[in-house]
Structure 1
Amino acid sequence: MVALSKTIFKAYDIRGVIDSTLDAGVARSIGQAFGQAALAKGERSVVIGRDGRLSGPALSAALAEGLQAAGVDVIDLGMVATPMVYFATNVLEGTRSGIMVTGSHNPPDYNGFKMVLAGEAIYGDAITALYDSIQAHDGSSAADKGSYRTHDIRAAYLERIIGDVKIARPIKIAVDCGNGVAGAFAGDLYRGMGCEVIELFCEVDGHFPNHHPDPAHPENLQDLIRALQTSDAEIGLAFDGDGDRLGIVTKDGHIIYPDRQMMLFAADVLSRNPGAEILYDVKCTRHLAPYIEQHGGRPLMYKTGHSLVKAKLKETGSPLGGEMSGHVFFKDRWYGFDDGLYAGARMLELLTKVDDPSALLNALPMAISTPELHLHLDEGENVALIDKLRTDATFPTSEKINDIDGLRVEYPDGFGLARSSNTTPVVVLRFEGENPEALARIQDEFRSVILAAKPDAKLPF
């Protein structure tokens, strides 16, 4: 038995290392605590699913036991992509709560839980409350145990997308699922839409033998780039381990990061929702806001975190939100949750309206930017450093500072970002400049203020 550790209760989900901080016993306790929280909201049933990780079946079974012990009925979808659990909470009668057993894009020995409670993505205090509930629990079970049944959501999910999202012409695509669970569905989805599909690493394998399933990192897209170079496929789609994030590669090998994908999505959504607010997180390019404005929308920058963006989307009524990490949330023609497979379908709908999809994508505004950089610190130091920068730092050539999530410092020719990660003890940094000189100058200013606050910081730039 692994002892319960508060460290696995993260800002947006629960995440731990198998047999170190997470095992079947912990999963059962989480199930029982979540079941009690669901009952308190008037919920009688909870949907569960799991990705392709080796530890998934055991954790999922224990989770179901815990939910049933709380007196909640369990509907088990089996091995599915995370968005299929979200989909089920929207379409199955009497069920607005769900738990996905997933390690997302983490290494193979990780696993965890993404949760929806009574139609709301839970985060922060609501996740901490589960830990408190487990600690306070006396070990008893409900007098009436919940029921258990399986349900196959696959056909309903695929039919819902294929019935609504239409490509304008036939297209050949390459799809790389990195042996993550999206591989069980992506080929059938896009073939069902009328695409010809080259499948790369679509066999679900929790060892991830080919490359890590995380399209945010260029090294994981090299196989897809090669497939486009050596075939007549026009475009490449890549997915993370649980299928809720999308990566895109052009025919000529350019990676179209999610903040630029959002430009095309926003223009399309705004054509049906003129004047609407479009959400995006603090890591996105400064070219996104003007693009949204040019297409008649109102840009709203918000905090990073898929649960936070989902909640803000609900609060504002926005038809679209997106994060630099690849989570894209469509409320326009969809349900408002992040779904990489669905985002891929919507992208193909737009790309097939033109003869040269890569030219359309490559023409989107862009600047010179760094990937996400991590300054590794000791536990708690990341929060303290950002607090110190907020009070002490000055940026001589900046125009304005946005402190909604860390510090995003805007310049006439770029931006710099330093924010505290909500999941690990790092400060996340990202820089963008209109030219190499601007990028270097902005990085120099950040280097000065960070080293002034913490002289021994080992900067990643």
Structure 2
Amino acid sequence: MAHLDLSMFKAYDIRTPAQQLTLDLSERLAYAEAYYFRENLGVQKVILCRDARLSGARYLEQGIRIFRDLGFEVLAAPQVSSACLFYYTCMRHPDAAGVMYGASHNPGGDTGQKIVAPGVQPIADGCGPGGGLQTIRRLYEQGARPQRIGSGKLRIVNYFDDYVRDSMRLADVSPGDLAGLRIVLDFLSGAAGQEMILAFTAAGAEIEPRNLVPDGHFPSGAPNPVVHASIAPSLEVLRSGRFDLGMFFDGDGDRLDIVAPDGRQISPAFNLIALVPRLRALFPDIPHPNVYVDLKANPLAIIRIARQGFGVHVIRNGHSQIKQALGKNAAAGFVAAVEESAHYYLNLRREGAVFPIENTLFYALLTARAWREDPALYRDLLDLQQTTFREREWGYHFPNDDLRAAALAAVEEAFVRNGWQAMHRMADGAAMDATLLRDGLPFVIDADTPLTEEWTQVAQRASQSERGLARWEVTAGTAARRDAAVRLIEETVRRFQAGQKYVG
């Protein structure tokens, strides 16, 4: 069934070149989702929206027609929407499922879908009620199609103003609170510009907007702040000396890169050091809050977070899987999570319920507030981060999955042969779908963990959203240790027909 493009079903969501998802196939997919929503989840209401991609309008138009014809109540947001506004809209209707048509930071020619169950429960591979994305894939293969039940309804929804207001309130940022703060905001022609501009302007910040207008042609380059060519012009503006910091967003606005005036990125784990006291204020009834950090998080950052009274736990990559873990463990005091890919998560309480969501506007405002209140702390954090040496995540494409798997196994074997330890499972026994390799470091790090400079950490994984791609990140106590680890990886993967180094 190769013509069905089953490769679009990724570990976290759906992603594929738009030309491969013809309207016939997207119709088949919509019927499979409708069947899953109704028969597996008991849902009669669905929220539909799109990001800035050129292909999004036709998929949204089609989805509105199909779900309505099948008898669903359709809550449609025809305007361009960020992923976080989509999640907020779903939170306002906790009895509804939701589909967002978009492809995050992928190239402009790609499309995809983010799918949630009622209560904003994430749907992914092995994640979500009723079998999650695996069930939708099976129904898609079968050509499942639910019966029409009654006449459907269409409602247009727009919670934009509420989202901005509630995000400002959640971050405890009032009009004028950010006065004097000068920020470069680059949206890479994606979906998040309007909400950010309105909130930051209301808060009194002096902003320099870049690539503000949503444009699915993505004229500045791939809508991915990791791609240097896409953000290079804005980095030059930031380095002019007139600004306090920069913020860079991806295509659907759920990624937040924080950059100092000299162009250095402050990693999410280090940024979390400044944010946890403010996060604690949101959960006054939790005496010992916990946060998740991904396996690439810098050990120095973990120690500093732990010293503020937080439990810090390593978690696998994957937006849906992280949100599922946050929601599942809310009663155990888990309140937030960060990924080094610049994604931030929160267990948001609303009307007696807990919603594990992403709200990049909240985190951008909270970061700006922290920077405005204590710029010296950020200077210290940047200096602390600078005492370690990081090769930010990069990857190689391999001709096939067998060679990719062999390369990952060979890299792990090479490090273990040199005395390193390998970790494949989280503390609760769940698979990380990745490998954490450490030398000179324990796997459990807390506030009292002693560190010398003689340590190195390597995280490696097979990409779940891009074909044939394996990824690595290296962090170390010295430049020599970082360089030696990078060199060993590069030398090992060459034996398995690795392509050119890929960053993105």
Same fold (TM > 0.5): yes
- Does the 8 Å contact 1:224/1:249 carry over to 2? no
SS of residue matched to 2:90: helix
- Aligned pairs for 1:282-361 (under 5 A) are 282-317=295-330, 318-331=334-347, 335-355=355-375, 359-361=379-381
- Ranges in structure 1 where 5+ consecutive residues have no aligned partner: none
What's the % identity of the aligned pairs?
A: 20
Write the deviation string for residues 226-271 of structure 1: whole angstroms up to 9, x where unpaired.
2223363322111100011101111222222323223323343346
Opposite residue 248 of structure 2, the aligned amino acid is: A
Q: Distance in 1 between matches of 2:291 and 2:270?
A: 14
User: Displacement of 1:129 after TM fit?
Assistant: 1.7
What residue is the counterpart of 2:57 in the other structure? Answer: 57
Moved more, 247-256 or 357-366: 357-366
Runs of 5+ unmatched residues, structure 2:
127-131, 425-431, 441-454
Partner deviation per Cα, 1:154-178 (whole Å, 9 max, x = no partner): 1111111123323454122221101
- 320-329 vs 399-408, which moves further: 399-408
When the two chains are superposed, the root-mean-square deviation of aligned CA atoms in Å is: 2.6
- Aligned-pair distance for 1:95? 3.3
SS in 1 for 2:167: helix
Cα distance in structure 1, aligned partners of 2:480 and 2:380 = 28
CA distance in 2, matches of 1:201, 1:460: 27
Closer, same or farther: CA 44–178 of 1 in aligned 2, 3 Å: same
Equivalence for 1:421:
463
Paired residues of 1:239 and 1:340 also in contact (CA < 8 A): no
- Higher relative CO (CA 8 A, sep ≥ 6), structure 1 or 2? 2
SS at the partner of 2:198?
A: helix
In structure 2, the residue corresponding to 1:336 is in which secondary structure?
strand
The 3-state SS of whatever aligns with 2:140 is helix
The aligned counterpart of 1:402 is: 423
8 Å CA contact 2:32–2:144 kept in 1: the answer is no
1:26 aligns with 2:44: no
Give the TM-score normalised by the residue count of structure 2. 0.83
Partner Cα separation in structure 2 for residue 89 and residue 139 of structure 1: 24
CA distance in 2 between partners of 1:358 and 1:392 (Å) = 38
Task: State how 1:247-262 maps to structure 2 within 5 Å.
Answer: 247-262=257-272
* Paired position in structure 2 for 1:45: 45
1:19-418 maps to which residues of 2 (within 5 A)? 19=19, 21-39=20-38, 40-78=40-78, 79-92=80-93, 95-119=95-119, 120-125=121-126, 126-137=132-143, 141-167=147-173, 168-170=177-179, 171-230=181-240, 232-270=242-280, 272=284, 273-317=286-330, 318-331=334-347, 335-355=355-375, 359-366=379-386, 367-381=388-402, 384-385=405-406, 388-389=409-410, 395-398=416-419, 400-403=421-424, 404-412=432-440, 413-418=455-460
Measured after TM superposition, the shift of residue 50 of structure 1 is: 0.6
- Cα distance per residue 1:52-91 (max 9 Å; x no partner): 1111110111122232344321101122101111111112
C-alpha separation between the residues in 1 aligned to 2:289 and 2:418?
A: 33
CA contact (8 A) 1:178 1:202 kept: yes
Mean Cα deviation higher: 184-193 or 328-337: 328-337
1:319 is paired with a residue whose SS is strand
2: CA distance between counterparts of 1:173 and 1:107?
26
Of 252-261 and 206-215, the range deviating more from structure 2: 252-261
Q: Is the 8 A contact 2:220 2:230 kept in 1?
A: no
1:222, CA displacement in angstroms? 2.2
